[in-house]
């Protein structure tokens, strides 16, 4: 074979519900197409996406397992949340790579030796960092290699500080031609390029990679109304055309030939796509005011602010005990909220993407809490948190709302209430402010779609222009064909999955009127009291016992119309297990007078009311199950209305 080509597909989303949409319109179809083609493929999937899919839809993980078992797929390692290595402290980078390895080994039982370099930004100083993490192969973009004297399409070796890596050429032109051919059904564009490369190398062999976001094969087009099924079919046709060539072999990274050349130093370089986007306003993730990515790296105010936040949290993590369940969860929350740190168009002040990292400090405070009650704004969200530690449990309460933010069983280390790593849409106003669910349009589009009835002629450069360089359109002077959705009018409005609501989030709903809001609660001991603008007073008193929590409610004032009281408790059961195993880690228990959530690894958490009189219901949350207790009152007169809710843990059945 003259041309040895590793095909590399990079799957990545944050720990977010959006991963479900990306899966429906991209991941499952892409993986099935690759498996059906029998062509070898190299897969990188971020830790954050693995943990999202585990909860939302694990089928893509099963498809990857199938490809690994048959020897058709190879997995690559990387950082857990795709932070750019050059933008972050090396302590963070080591922890990121360690966590990703742990998740890959736990999910797929593999230990990769090839590294996906997040956003492809390069410095020679990365060689020992990547090699130290157990990797021996990395891809580097061709424009960086060309500047460094590596113009040949061969395997290289590079060394720095006593460490070495094998280097694969990441072929930018081939990547764009491959995408173009798959999107528009033009395999001849790729085949002509392969002809040219084969002619250039003569009797020698060439090695170069196609390395691209998996989202290119469905999700990007879907954003412009392109039917994903057409993209998958056209990709399958392209792979068939490549397979028919006797001079081309798609290979796994473990089958790369030995290095043929040595590059003493590979020059610093940034991803071609980021520099292109910074230079042109309508490119993906554009930000104004930067010459190139290194200028952005050095001067971006949001990166500077993010680094200050991460430095303060890192120092606390480094001072914490080396291990322990709550410390591990703190480390996970910190690393997860470094998602794509250093990338243009991502994150910033007030976003949950990065600002949620402060939850790591709350978990560290829980791990170090002494018996008794401690009050402090340690996560710097301008709201006081109250830590209550007994012999065998620790609870964090918020003055704002008087909610349980966290509850952990110190005997097992399980986080029963709390959802620090999962990310939901909307601005971040601190841990003490629960995010509100957002509405989004929903159309139940099938995975397999009869796209033939929707094919239209589209004049170049088409809506997909933002993802492709200008030179690629020079050969096209007539219309291209794309299957575009017809009527995509949403059939309904859905609410995003809730997360980080905590327990005992209270809402009062007068019939026919707006919800009654309670401002900031005052606190006396563990009694929280607040008065609404309409004169209603709500108080709740927490009592901790060996088995769990008891909350005495008291509602007083006067409301002459029927009123509904809703109390929500978001229960993780065992949060670490939910992240690891997904939705199968918890089950709902519904009984006549009590209800709860059972964790496959821990206790059953039960919620009951005394005196009975309300109704329990359930709401699916993100990495948790929410129990809602509802009471309907005809009116509220002179006497206070009182009841107690218990949230307790039972031993594992």
Place of tokens 């890192």: 314
Q: What is the pLDDT of residue 323?
A: 81
DSSP state of 451: G
Nearest partner of 331 among 15, 168, 98, 616, judged by Cα = 98
Q: Is the pLDDT of residue 653 over 50?
A: no
Q: Which region among 162-166, 270-274, 338-342, 378-382 has the lowest average model confidence (pLDDT)?
A: 378-382
Nearest partner of 206 among 285, 165, 146, 260, judged by Cα = 260
Instruction: Report the alpha-carbon distance of residue 64 to residue 488 in Å, rounded.
Output: 31
- Alpha-helical (H) ranges within 126-262 are 126-132, 142-147, 172-184, 187-201, 219-222, 228-243
Instruction: Report the alpha-carbon distance of residue 2 to residue 241 in Å, rounded.
Output: 16
Take residue 402 and report the two structure tokens written for it: 């008087």
Q: What is the pLDDT of residue 455?
A: 86
Q: What is the pLDDT of residue 558?
A: 82
313-325 pLDDT, tens digit per residue, is 999 999 998 789 9
Across the range 292-297, mean pLDDT stands at 98
547-579 pLDDT, tens digit per residue, is 899 999 999 988 778 889 999 999 999 999 999
> What backbone phi and psi angles, to 5 degrees, belong to 440?
-145, 150
Across the range 447-471, mean pLDDT stands at 84
Across the range 119-128, mean pLDDT stands at 98
Q: What is the pLDDT of residue 561?
A: 82
Q: Rounded to the nearest 10 degrees, what angle do helices 59-70 and 47-56 cross at?
A: 120
Q: What is the pLDDT of residue 440?
A: 81
- Alpha-helical (H) ranges within 369-419 are none
Q: Is the pLDDT of residue 593 over 70?
A: no
- Report CA torsion sign: 586, 602, 16, 519: positive
Q: What is the pLDDT of residue 192?
A: 97
Q: What is the pLDDT of residue 437?
A: 84
234-293 pLDDT, tens digit per residue, is 999 999 999 999 999 999 999 999 999 999 999 999 999 999 999 999 999 999 999 999
Nearest partner of 453 among 229, 239, 236, judged by Cα = 229
Instruction: Report the alpha-carbon distance of residue 552 to residue 34 in Å, rounded.
Output: 57
Across the range 632-648, mean pLDDT stands at 89
Nearest partner of 462 among 447, 481, 443, judged by Cα = 481
Residues 6+ apart with CB under 8 A from 472: 176, 177, 180
CA atoms within 13 A on the CB side of 55: 27
CA atoms within 13 A on the CB side of 532: 20
Nearest partner of 492 among 448, 444, 449, judged by Cα = 444
Instruction: Report the alpha-carbon distance of residue 462 to residue 423 in Å, rounded.
Output: 33
Residues 6+ apart with CB under 8 A from 294: 268, 270
With b for 16 or more beta-carbon neighbours within 10 A and e for fewer, the 619-651 pattern comes to bebbbbbbbbbebebeebeeeeeebebbbbbee
482-528 pLDDT, tens digit per residue, is 998 876 676 688 889 999 999 999 998 888 778 887 877 899 999 99
Q: Which region among 119-128, 191-200, 347-356 has the lowest average model confidence (pLDDT)?
A: 347-356
The 10 Å Cβ neighbour count of residue 439 is 10
Q: Which region among 221-230, 421-430, 443-452, 610-619 has the lowest average model confidence (pLDDT)?
A: 443-452
> What's the whole-model pTM score?
0.96
Q: What is the pLDDT of residue 186?
A: 95
Percent of the chain surpassing pLDDT 90: 79
53-107 pLDDT, tens digit per residue, is 999 999 999 999 999 999 999 999 999 999 999 999 999 999 999 999 999 999 9
Q: What is the pLDDT of residue 164?
A: 98
Instruction: Report the alpha-carbon distance of residue 406 to residue 378 in Å, rounded.
Output: 14
DSSP state of 117: -
With b for 16 or more beta-carbon neighbours within 10 A and e for fewer, the 132-141 pattern comes to ebebbbbbbb
Nearest partner of 417 among 599, 289, 590, judged by Cα = 599
């Amino acid at each position: 074979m003259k041309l040895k080509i590793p095909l590399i597909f990079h799957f990545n989303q944050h720990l977010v519900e959006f991963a479900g949409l990306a899966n429906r319109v991209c991941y499952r179809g892409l993986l099935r197409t690759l498996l059906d083609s029998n062509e070898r493929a190299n897969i990188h999937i971020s830790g954050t996406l693995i943990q999202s899919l585990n909860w939302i839809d694990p089928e893509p993980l099963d498809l990857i397992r199938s490809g690994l078992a048959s020897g058709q797929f190879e997995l690559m390692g990387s950082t857990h949340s795709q932070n750019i290595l050059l933008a972050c402290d090396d302590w963070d980078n080591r922890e990121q790579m360690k966590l990703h390895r742990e998740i890959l080994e736990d999910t797929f039982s593999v230990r990769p030796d090839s590294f996906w370099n997040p956003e492809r930004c390069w410095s020679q100083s990365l060689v020992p960092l990547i090699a130290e993490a157990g990797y021996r192969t990395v891809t580097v973009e061709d424009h960086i290699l060309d500047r460094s004297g590596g113009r040949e399409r061969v395997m290289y070796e590079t060394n720095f500080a006593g460490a070495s890596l094998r280097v694969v050429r990441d072929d930018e032109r081939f990547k764009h031609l491959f995408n173009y051919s798959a999107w528009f059904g033009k395999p001849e564009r790729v085949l002509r390029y392969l002809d040219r490369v084969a002619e250039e190398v003569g009797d020698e062999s060439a090695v170069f990679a196609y390395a691209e976001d998996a989202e290119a094969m469905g999700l990007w087009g879907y954003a412009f109304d392109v039917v994903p099924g057409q993209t998958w079919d056209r990709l399958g046709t392209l792979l068939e055309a490549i397979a028919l060539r006797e001079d081309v072999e798609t290979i796994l990274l473990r089958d790369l030939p030995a290095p043929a050349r040595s590059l003493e130093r590979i020059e610093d370089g940034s991803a071609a796509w980021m520099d292109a986007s910074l230079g042109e306003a309508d490119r993906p993730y554009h930000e104004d005011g930067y010459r190139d990515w290194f200028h952005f790296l050095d001067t971006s105010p949001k990166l500077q602010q993010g680094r200050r936040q991460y430095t303060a949290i890192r120092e606390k993590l480094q001072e914490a005990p080396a291990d322990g369940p709550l410390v591990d969860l703190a480390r996970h929350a910190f690393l997860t909220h470094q998602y794509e740190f250093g990338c243009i168009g991502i994150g910033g002040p007030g976003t949950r993407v990065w600002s949620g990292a402060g939850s790591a400090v709350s978990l560290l405070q829980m791990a170090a809490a002494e018996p008794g009650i401690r009050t402090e704004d340690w996560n710097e969200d301008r709201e006081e948190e109250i830590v209550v530690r007994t012999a065998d449990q620790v609870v964090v309460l918020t003055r704002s709302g008087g909610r349980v933010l966290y509850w952990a069983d110190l005997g097992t280390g399980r986080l029963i209430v709390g959802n620090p790593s999962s990310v939901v849409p909307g601005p971040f106003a601190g841990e003490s402010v629960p995010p509100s669910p957002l509405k989004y349009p929903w159309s139940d589009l099938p995975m397999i779609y009869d796209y033939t009835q929707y094919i239209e002629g589209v004049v170049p450069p088409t809506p997909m222009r933002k993802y492709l360089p200008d030179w690629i359109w020079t050969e096209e002077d007539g219309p291209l064909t794309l299957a575009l959705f017809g009527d995509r009018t949403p059939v309904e409005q859905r609410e995003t999955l809730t997360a980080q609501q905590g327990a005992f989030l209270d809402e009062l709903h007068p019939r026919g009127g707006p919800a009654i809001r309670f401002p900031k609660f005052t606190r006396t001991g563990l009694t929280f009291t607040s008065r609404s603008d309409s004169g209603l007073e709500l108080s709740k008193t927490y009592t901790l016992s060996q088995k769990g929590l008891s909350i005495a409610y008291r509602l007083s004032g006067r409301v002459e119309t029927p009123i509904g009281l809703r109390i929500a408790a978001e229960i993780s059961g065992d949060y670490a297990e939910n992240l690891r195993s997904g939705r199968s880690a918890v089950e709902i228990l519904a009984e006549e007078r009590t209800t709860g959530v059972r964790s496959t690894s821990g206790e059953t958490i039960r919620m009951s009311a005394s005196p009975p009189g309300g109704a329990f219901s359930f709401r699916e949350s993100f990495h948790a199950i929410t129990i809602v207790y509802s009471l309907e009152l005809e009116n509220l007169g002179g006497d206070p209305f009182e009841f107690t809710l218990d949230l307790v843990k039972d031993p594992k059945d």
